[in-house]
């Protein structure tokens, strides 16, 4: 999840329920930073705090963009050591979640063959067309229900088909499974994350042999599937020595795709809710019992990712706060760093809906030059360019709210699930302006929080597996509502201005 937030007017959480909570470490690896959170759950208690945060900075070598996976692993060990210092060296468990689609390759000895390639690397250009010659986009969607994104794992493997590393590999582990393997020595493939590879049939919760054959993917590379709550081993003696923890410390498979954990961490009451997990990406949709595999759904670019307790995360990927993160980075690199709080205050006073861009446009995926790319998109659609940093930020947030509006409306229409409230979780839950704009755009009340929904979902699945909390998702969410600080935003006025902005964007920018 992302880190671009605004924590003004933070409401303190309700008083914690008395004792009984056992300590768990939730490892939450986001696209821009990782953190280890120490949580206590049980006896009516649910609390969480960060004990270590570390940067996640990709590295470009020889024209390829890589994740610095060993630095991330070191950060995890440092965080577990910090958690242990606060608990007398004892933890009731560890769970790991991260971003999706990327993987590491291991040889026959279990050694890593090379740093995992970053999903924003350009190697997957043209791979959808190559696979499409063997299996049509409609056929691929009917088998997997996964939204077309150019960096999905199936396209990464298509790009790597002639790579010597892939030829030498005997095991492929998705990022959270790779970290778990190094901690425990046991390999598995957690299902919620596996569903994002575009190789899983969401109806069966198992691999799609048809897609694997078409993509020439050897499913034998994948370790056995695990589900959230399944055991994933115990910390190795060397890890215990490195972290100062007292064994045994179990590792539990959680919703290892961070969005799966974040949706489990949505404090909803009932089923009639939409969620927007905000961070580097915005993942906006509804929770269902079965996938929606219609051609209309495919054309609307909705995805059916698997969730905790057999649920389906029916959602659309939107570019998210990546747009704002990149603008802030560019301005800082150009010698004009911007402090977020005053910048958001100025953006709140900027003209609303003056210009909007398509927050789902793949042109915004690569890093670099984001303010100019936003201006260029405005020029192409005949809209005025932002005149300063505040207007650029307002354009970004208006555009995200407009994309949230479209995703929530389309999710209801395509799934038949009606929505009474929108829950915003993740880093953007602190961004009061984004939450208010989303409420206005959707014409629905917005409940903002918790910002640490992914870590809380991670913690709750661990604690339930350990017997510390009981029940299904409704009971887990009830515990969240009783212990976490939430903000409520009611829509102000009608949605006509948002309808005009959507029509303007669809029509090339002119009213």
* Residue positions annotated with a catalytic role: 258
Pairing of strands 94-98, 171-174: unpaired
* 3-class DSSP state of 62: coil
Contact 223, 189 (CB under 8 A): yes
**Residue pair 106/170 in contact by the 8 Å Cβ criterion:** yes
Tokens 């064994």 correspond to 247
- Which are the contacts of 382, defined by CB distance < 8 A and separation ≥ 6? 508, 509, 510
Q: How far apart are CA 154 and CA 150, in angstroms?
A: 9
**Is residue 310 reached through a cis peptide bond, with omega within 30 degrees of 0 on the bond before it?**
no
CA dist., res. 213 & res. 228, Å (int):
27
SS (H, E, C) 460-500: HHHHHHCCCCCCCHHHHHHHHHHHCCCEEECCCCCCHHHHH
State the Cα–Cα distance between residues 453 and 351, nearest whole angstrom. 32
Distances (CA, A) of 348 to 11, 391, 393, 464, 469: 21, 9, 9, 42, 42
What is the DSSP annotation of 387-444? -SHHHHHHHHHHHHHHHHHHHHHHHHHHH----SEEEEEEGGGG-HHHHHHHHHHHTS
Q: Do 41 and 15 meet the contact criterion of CB atoms below 8 Å apart?
A: no
* 359, two tokens: 């927050």
Alpha carbon distance 224, 493 (integer Å) = 52
> Which uninterrupted H or E stretch holds 177?
helix 175-184
Structure tokens at 399: 């555009």
What are the residues whose beta carbons fall under 8 Å from the beta carbon of 496, sequence distance 6 or more?
Answer: none
DSSP 270: S
Structure tokens at 231: 């055991």
């Amino acid at each position: 999840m992302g880190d671009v937030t605004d924590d003004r007017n933070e409401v303190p959480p309700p008083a914690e329920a008395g004792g009984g909570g056992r300590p768990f470490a939730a490892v939450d690896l986001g696209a821009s930073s990782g953190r280890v959170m120490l949580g206590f759950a049980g006896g009516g208690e649910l609390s969480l705090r960060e004990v270590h945060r570390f940067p996640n900075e990709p590295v470009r070598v020889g024209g390829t963009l890589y994740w610095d996976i060993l630095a991330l692993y070191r950060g995890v060990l440092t965080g577990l050591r910090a958690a242990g210092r606060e608990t007398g060296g004892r933890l009731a468990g560890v769970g790991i979640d991260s971003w999706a689609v990327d993987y590491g390759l291991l040889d026959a000895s279990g050694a890593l063959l090379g740093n995992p390639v970053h999903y924003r690397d350009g190697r997957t250009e043209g791979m959808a067309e190559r696979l499409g010659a063997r299996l049509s986009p409609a056929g691929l969607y009917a088998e997997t229900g996964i939204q077309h994104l150019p960096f999905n794992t199936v396209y990464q493997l298509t790009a790597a088909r002639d790579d010597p590393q892939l030829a030498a590999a005997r095991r492929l582990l998705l990022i959270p499974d790779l970290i778990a393997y190094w901690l425990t020595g046991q390999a598995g493939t957690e299902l919620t994350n596996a569903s994002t590879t575009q190789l899983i049939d969401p109806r069966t919760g198992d691999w799609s042999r048809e897609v694997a054959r078409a993509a020439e993917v050897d499913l034998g590379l994948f370790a056995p599937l695990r589900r959230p709550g399944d055991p994933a081993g115990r910390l190795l003696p060397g890890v215990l020595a490195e972290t100062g923890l007292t064994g045994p410390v179990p590792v539990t498979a959680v919703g290892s795709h961070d969005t799966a954990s974040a949706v489990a961490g949505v404090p909803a009451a009932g089923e009639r809710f939409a969620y927007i997990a905000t961070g580097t990406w915005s993942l906006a949709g509804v929770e269902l019992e079965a996938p929606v595999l219609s051609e209309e759904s495919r054309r609307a670019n909705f995805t059916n990712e698997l969730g905790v307790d057999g649920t389906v995360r029916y959602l659309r990927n939107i570019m998210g706060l990546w747009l704002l993160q990149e603008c802030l980075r560019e301005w800082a690199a150009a010698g004009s760093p911007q402090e977020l709080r005053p910048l958001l205050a100025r953006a709140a006073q900027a003209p609303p809906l003056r210009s909007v861009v398509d927050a789902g446009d793949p042109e915004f995926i690569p890093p670099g030059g984001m303010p100019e790319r936003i201006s260029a998109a405005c020029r192409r659609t005949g809209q005025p360019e932002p005149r300063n940093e505040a207007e650029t930020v307002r354009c970004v947030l208006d555009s995200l709210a407009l994309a949230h509006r479209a995703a929530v409306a389309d999710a209801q229409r395509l799934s038949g699930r009606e929505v009474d409230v929108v829950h915003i979780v993740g880093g953007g839950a602190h961004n009061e302006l984004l939450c208010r704009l989303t409420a206005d755009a959707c014409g629905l009340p917005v409940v903002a929080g918790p910002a640490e929904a992914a870590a809380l979902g991670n913690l709750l699945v661990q604690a339930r597996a350990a017997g510390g909390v009981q029940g299904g998702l409704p009971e887990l969410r009830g515990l969240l509502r009783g212990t976490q600080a939430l903000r409520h935003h009611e829509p102000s006025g009608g949605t006509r201005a948002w309808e005009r902005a959507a029509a303007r964007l669809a029509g090339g920018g002119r009213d």
